[in-house]
Amino acid sequence: MPKDKLSPRERWLAVLRHEKPDRVPLDYRATPEVTEALLRHLGTDLEGMYARLHIDRVVHVAPRYVGPPLRPDEDEFGCRYTQVSYGLGVYRECTYHPLARYSSVEEIEAHYRWPSPDWWDYSGLSRQVEGKEHLPISGGGSEPFLKYCELRGLEQAHIDLIENPQIVHYCLDKLYALCRIQTQRLYEQLPGKVLWTSVSEDLGSQEGLLFSPRHIREFFLPHMQRMMALVHEAGAYVFTHSDGAVREVIPDLIAIGMDILDPVQWRCRGMEREGLKRDFGGRIVFHGAMDNQKTLAFGSEEDVRQEVRDNIAILGAGGGYILGPCHNLQPLTPPELIVAMYDEAYACGWYG
Q: In the chain, count H helices and then E strands.
A: 15, 11
Domain ranges of the chain: 8-348
| Cα 192 from Cα 235, distance rounded (Å) | 7
The whole-number pLDDT of residue 65 equals: 98
The whole-number pLDDT of residue 289 equals: 98
| Cα 340 from Cα 337, distance rounded (Å) | 5
- Answer yes or no: are the C-beta atoms of 204 and 268 closer than 8 Å: yes
- DSSP annotation of 87 reads S
Give the CATH number of domain 8-348; options: 2.30.40.10, 3.20.20.10, 3.40.50.720, 3.20.20.210. Answer: 3.20.20.210
The whole-number pLDDT of residue 22 equals: 98
Q: Which helix (H) or strand (E) holds 186?
A: helix 165-189
- Answer yes or no: are the C-beta atoms of 338 and 38 closer than 8 Å: yes
Long-range contacts of 78-86 (CB under 8 A, 24+ apart): 78/112, 79/147, 79/150, 79/151
End-to-end Cα separation, the chain, in angstroms:
12
| Cα 308 from Cα 342, distance rounded (Å) | 9
Q: Rounded to two decimals, what is the model's pTM? A: 0.97
Q: Which helix (H) or strand (E) holds 271?
A: none
| Cα 79 from Cα 201, distance rounded (Å) | 19
The whole-number pLDDT of residue 89 equals: 86
User: Considering all CA atoms of the chain, what is the largest pairwise distance in Å, rounded to the nearest integer?
Assistant: 65
The whole-number pLDDT of residue 86 equals: 87
Low-confidence ranges of the chain (pLDDT < 70): none
The whole-number pLDDT of residue 264 equals: 98
The whole-number pLDDT of residue 87 equals: 86
3-state helix, strand, coil in the chain (%, to 5): 45, 15, 40
